[in-house]
Chains A and B, each alone.
Chain A
Amino acid sequence: MAIPGASSASRAIDAVTAAEPAAGLAPAHRLAWQEARVAAIHAETPEVKSFVLRPESWAGFTAGQHVDIRLTAPDGYQAQRSYSIASAPDDSGTLELAIEALPEGEVSPFFHDVVEVGDTIELRGPIGGHFIWDAPLGGPLLLVGGGSGLVPLMSILRHRARVAPEVPATLVYSARRYDDLIFRDELFRRRDIDPNFRLEIALTREQARDGLHFGRIDATLMARAIGAEVPRLTYICGSNPFVEAAASLALAAGLPFGSIRTERYGG
């Protein structure tokens, strides 16, 4: 594809998109709404709960994908939202969402305050064919998450640990405080047992504990995260300001434009 006036960036992107796996590409049939039973609920942080859902029919997904949720009021009014999947694809027939309570929200407060184990929720999916990773894409991987932007990265990390633990992966995870770190114990455990997984945590509103960075992600932290081996793929997820800042740091550190995939929350 040669477009007059196109930047070199477009060629770099083409190189990456050509390598995307078939999984996650266009489904041949309609994505049907279906009911899913809430199998478990866990409080992960003061503002984030995880929900294990068991849909009637679930053929699996690719790490990084999301589902659409649809809620229906007694008079037929409906609200829809998209939520990333936190779990890795497996044969359990379930998926796990991690939902942050947004005080002014319509759907997230319902999940936090009303939903109980045994309820049924409508969903359809999986959705998304770009912010995804599977073993054929290889590594090294650089994952950069802000707040609840960790969720799809967690799916990728969990999947990598199952199917390709030899692929080097680094997670840079920014949260406000220590207690806001979603899946904190699991992340520390994975860091301790997995020689190919590095974890860099940045806390923006709490003085660092030992080994944790205090403040926003900066050039020094980004350089340390990139390390000696340039990541083949970088996945950045969070609010738009977070993603803009992190993507700018990644570009400034020399990572190719086309190797960086982003997902922005708040939309």
Chain B
Amino acid sequence: MATRGFFGKRPTEIEAGRLPPGQYLTEDFPVLSAGPTPRVDLDKWSFTLKDGVRPVAKWTWDEFQKLPHVKLTRDIHCVTKWSKFNTAWSGVMIDDILAEAGIEAATGFTLAHSFDGYTTNVPTADLVGGKAMIATAYDGQPITADHGGPARLLVPHLYFWKSAKWVSALQFTARDEAGFWELRGYHMYGDPWREQRFTGD
């Protein structure tokens, strides 16, 4: 039923086709996080792949810089309703990280870990096949700390809380383990096009 007196500032037809349901377009790049912004020194930064509790590969910042970097420009969609078009990232594709480590994805489920203790779960299939990267630059510049730098996970086809800021590790898990927000009422998968914001959506 229509809301009395509401007509809205609707997007153009082209924009509307790129906006998932319930989203609006912003030119800004809003920041959201559960706590203060952690400042991670590059000489203390590392990125680890884990199979369960067992670390299987680990890179320092300098080692990570030597992995093949590619550009990925995508629309992103935050569960708080804003979407931003054509965000330009560069970093290392998860496919290339696995290839470099010389391993296959160990399980169908992955839990991303961050330096501030944040976690989020993503099916492994959504991280491989050219879908996701560990991003180290945005718009040609190092990612600022409030946007997740030095490095963040980028899974642009899922709601943006899945793109963990300050990422420190990807852990293959035996089952789909809920992360920080997923334990607090947010959806286990988070597909913006199916509007999977909250548990049960």
A25 touches B35 (CB 8 A): no
Residue of A nearest to B10 (CB): A77
B115 touches A7 (CB 8 A): yes
Residues of chain B at interface, number, CB under 8 A:
57
B117 touches A10 (CB 8 A): yes
Give a binary string over B145-183; 1 marks a CB under 8 Å from any A CB, 0 the rest.
Answer: 010000000000000000000001100000000101111
B183 touches A26 (CB 8 A): yes
Q: A79: CB under 8 A from chain B?
A: yes
Q: Which residues of A contact B45 (CB under 8 A)?
A: 5
B33 touches A264 (CB 8 A): yes
Q: Which residues of B contact A261 (CB under 8 A)?
A: 34-35
Which of B77-85, B93-101, B134-142 faces chain A?
A: B77-85
Q: Which residues of B contact A3 (CB under 8 A)?
A: 48, 113, 168-169
Q: Which residues of B contact A262 (CB under 8 A)?
A: 33-36
A82 touches B80 (CB 8 A): yes
Number of A-B contacts (CB under 8 A): 175
Grouping DSSP codes into helix (H, G, I), strand (E, B) and loop, the B interface class, with mixed when no group exceeds half, is loop
Q: A213: CB under 8 A from chain B?
A: no
Q: A260: CB under 8 A from chain B?
A: yes
B22 touches A264 (CB 8 A): no
Q: Which residues of A contact B46 (CB under 8 A)?
A: 4-5
In angstroms, Cα B180 to Cα A3, docked, is 15
Q: Which residues of A contact B14 (CB under 8 A)?
A: none
Give a binary string over A114-133; 1 marks a CB under 8 Å from any B CB, 0 the rest.
Answer: 11000111100001111100
In angstroms, Cα B200 to Cα A3, docked, is 30
Q: A189: CB under 8 A from chain B?
A: no
A30 touches B199 (CB 8 A): yes
In angstroms, Cα B22 to Cα A6, docked, is 36
In angstroms, Cα B35 to Cα A68, docked, is 22
Q: A6-B168, A72-B3 known; A267 and B38 CB under 8 Å?
A: no
Residue of B nearest to A13 (CB): B117
Give a binary string over A217-245; 1 marks a CB under 8 Å from any B CB, 0 the rest.
Answer: 00000000000000000000000100010
- Measured CB to CB, the residues of A under 8 A from B are 1, 3-7, 9-14, 17, 24-31, 68, 70-74, 77-82, 106, 110, 114-115, 119-122, 127-131, 240, 244, 247-248, 250-251, 257-258, 260-262, 264, 266-267
Interface contacts beyond A5-B48, A78-B8, A110-B6: sample of 10 additional A-B pairs, CB < 8 Å, sorted by A: A10-B114, A25-B184, A78-B22, A80-B81, A122-B3, A129-B183, A244-B37, A247-B35, A257-B35, A257-B116
- Measured CB to CB, the residues of B under 8 A from A are 1-10, 21-22, 24, 28, 30-38, 40, 44-48, 55, 58, 78, 80-82, 113-118, 146, 168-169, 178, 180-186, 197-201
Name 14 interchain pairs, CB-CB below 8 A, sorted by A: A3-B169, A4-B46, A17-B117, A17-B180, A24-B185, A26-B182, A26-B186, A30-B199, A73-B3, A131-B34, A244-B31, A250-B36, A251-B36, A266-B28
